[in-house]
A and B are shown apart, each in its own frame.
Chain A
């Protein structure tokens, strides 16, 4: 990992440890205050525990122009961003996409192209609905590896993370504690429940927390929709298309709406935020990724709306192309943060249980 990022985070953490005014904001400070010296693994854990709520920055008496020049949200964001690149499998892919919005857009366009090509080359005649454009088997042939590979990659990344931060065997209670934190984004509430600082300097709002949860639950609903549909297809012999009041449609439509609204709001917020409190060079990558995720939701909704029109084949290729790019890029974009954040929360539950 980049030693200058770690060194800067260490310098700042040591000053924070002598102050401790911020211990009421989030999980980072109690974890920080449990140490007297900070190893690279400690800093990596703190960095991934940090939700970038920025409360500590705006409350800090030592921000520039003070000679201590503290900017802990940025110092931790740099370490965090760097750790995702370092832990990625393969590493080169992490380096190529994590901070690079252009590469993400390019990969998405390639996804479109692949699906247009597939629709033309593997055209079917017998299928119903979407399967008339691309057969179920062709879809599976494309998406099964595109789903399994990121899973494998993430698993390797998490293993590297766990070794770096010195994690111990995970128990159910560790997981449930971490899930409870993530489920209501406790660490974006500011400790007092007023939310975080993001789009308007030191004003506390829930805007980012709500946007994030819309994205998270939207994504989970869409994922549930696909999972349910897969089970219906294989176990119940009920192939698509499904009606409006079927489980896949209800889950998918609500999830899609949440994704679009959440991603739209998140991009709006990010554009208003002070980029110097995050990993500055990753800003483009974050915006592009959020855009891609929102586009997956939007193209899915459009596809549903236009499913009986002549636009359907085009929209299907676009939607599936975006989904493909999203899946394949998951370990190498901001999407990876969800997995590392969960790991950090689990590790923090372990630390508290041991302490």
Chain B
């Protein structure tokens, strides 16, 4: 690119692409600065799989209806009311027109994935997952004349009062600058910067695994917050789930999930149980286990099951650790053998009638007389071979971000920054104070990406 673009979009995931495509369709010349190399483009969108969508009657792959009020109620439930209702309603209401827009711009949907039937009404699944969505959007953007630079890391936005005057970035080892008319920030949270996580969370965060892209280091976010751009969200809040402890430090994505907790006992490194493993069905509980494990010594948990439970959950990406006796299993997992045998014996003794065992429903098969109790699916751990998994905290994204209004516009002091908009995870804290609703991140990214693109183009043209 020889000329200065009208709009610079910082980031290369779903929100960035929606903004770039929308702006380009309004006739603006758009440049995407993506910090990742091409194979890793797309940020956390690469790992996503669906889009939560309001609809009246069947829409695309979605069945029945999902109303604004029901959607909002679902959201309020998971965030405990810490939700900006006005922006949430905007996202929810706009989601319905987004789905056909996504299809028009190359995204393909499919019936909900096996094992996710509960989402068939509320969440539209991308055929092939998030990376195929990202690929389709890059194709569309390319056709619209959007330029993309990979491994282009934005280092600083120069502010002059209520205007961004310059975007500094490095590309091919050189420091470069551009002065576009409009800037859209869509470069995610800061969870890949583990030092920052540790500052917010304490040193325990060094033991967390990052489920998504290693490129969301929050460089632009920090730069803007340092300059007084309005912020939103609690720095200690992040979406964290319990995942396979052997997962890679970054980018493990969906496969590192473990669905076996409800059929297990979970102990800490001292072989002690610490929470009711059978409190609810796993899709409703995996997120709290991220925090539970984070609170244990060395931020690690150990799942113990026996042979009769092995086939009750989705296959794991790494095979479980297997042993013929509990003592041998403890040895292989680095747990104190006596303590584990004692914990299992105590748990087994507390198990009662099991004839009502039902793996996919709250069956009320509970323990009695131990703390913590196990309130569903409580069956004794008796049948060899025994299997074990380690559990660690996996961070999906952080909530600290840029505060935006209904035009996706950022502000400084009490006034809007005239040419700066934000979309996606980097502003999701404007809507979500805590908690998470499956598929809502892609809804926020799509809705606010399109708004940011439209507004940025209107300003530039």
Contact = CB atoms under 8 A, between A and B. Distances in A.
Bound together:
yes
Given A19-B255, A62-B253, A25 B139 contact: no
Interface in B312-350: 314-317, 319
A202 interface: yes
A65 interface: yes
What range describes how many residues of B lie at the interface?
20 to 34
A17 B127 CA distance: 16
A62 B255 contact: yes
Contacts of A58: 128, 131-132, 135
B131 A20 contact: no
A192 B132 CA distance: 12
A31 interface: no
Given A65-B39, A191-B110, A192-B110, A21 B315 contact: no
B355 interface: no
Contacts of A203: 139
Given A59-B135, A61-B47, A23 B317 contact: no
B58 interface: no
A110 B173 CA distance: 58
Interface in A111-135: none
B311 interface: yes
B51 to A, nearest CB: 14
Contacts, number: 85
A59 B315 CA distance: 21
Contacts of A60: 131
Interface string B123-161: 001111111100100010000000000000000000000
A275 interface: no
Interface in A323-348: none
A283 to B, nearest CB: 23
A33 B135 CA distance: 25
Given A18-B317, A58-B135, A202-B139, A25 B113 contact: no
A116 to B, nearest CB: 52
B248 A67 contact: yes
A14 B315 contact: yes
B254 A21 contact: yes
A20 B115 contact: yes
Contacts of A17: 315
Contacts of B315: 14, 17-18, 36
Contacts of A24: 110-111, 125, 127-128
Nearest to B317: A18
A23 B125 CA distance: 11
B319 to A, nearest CB: 8
Interface in B16-40: 39-40
Given A22-B128, A24-B128, A56-B128, A192 B108 contact: yes
Contact of B129 (A21, A66, A67): A21
A280 interface: no
A191 B126 CA distance: 12
B403 interface: no
Nearest to A66: B251
Contacts of A202: 132, 135, 139
Given A33-B114, A59-B131, A61-B130, A21 B49 contact: yes
A61 B251 CA distance: 9
A14 B128 contact: no
Nearest to B111: A24
A202 B113 CA distance: 22
A36 B126 CA distance: 24
A63 interface: yes
B217 interface: no
Interface in A22-64: 22-25, 33, 36, 55-56, 58-64
A106 interface: no
Contact size range, A: 20 to 34
A274 interface: no
Nearest to B47: A61
Contacts of B131: 58-61
For A36, A61, A192, A202, which residue has the most chain B Cβ atoms within 10 angstroms? A61
B450 interface: no
Contacts of A33: 114
A20 B114 contact: yes
Contact of B255 (A15, A36, A55, A63): A15
Interface string A188-199: 001110100000
Contacts of B379: none
A10 B9 CA distance: 41
B211 to A, nearest CB: 11
Contacts of B319: 14
Contacts of B392: none
A15 B248 CA distance: 13
Contacts of A55: 128, 132
B52 interface: no
Given A18-B315, A33-B114, A61-B47, A25 B255 contact: no
A234 B251 CA distance: 68
B181 interface: no
Nearest to B45: A61
Contacts of B251: 61, 66
Nearest to B248: A67
A18 B253 CA distance: 11
Nearest to B314: A18
A67 B127 CA distance: 24
Contact of A63 (B39, B111, B128, B132): B39
Contacts of B40: 65
B142 to A, nearest CB: 10
B121 interface: no
Interface string B73-98: 00000000000000000000000000
Interface of B: 39-40, 46-47, 49, 108, 110-111, 113-115, 125-132, 135, 139, 248, 251, 253-255, 257, 311, 314-317, 319
6 contacts: A15-B255, A21-B113, A56-B128, A58-B128, A58-B132, A191-B110
Given A24-B127, A59-B131, A62-B253, 16 more contacts: A14-B317, A18-B314, A18-B317, A20-B114, A21-B128, A23-B110, A24-B125, A25-B127, A56-B128, A58-B132, A58-B135, A65-B40, A66-B251, A192-B127, A194-B108, A202-B132
The 4 A-B pairs at the shortest CB distance, nearest first, are namely A59-B128, A21-B129, A24-B110, A59-B132
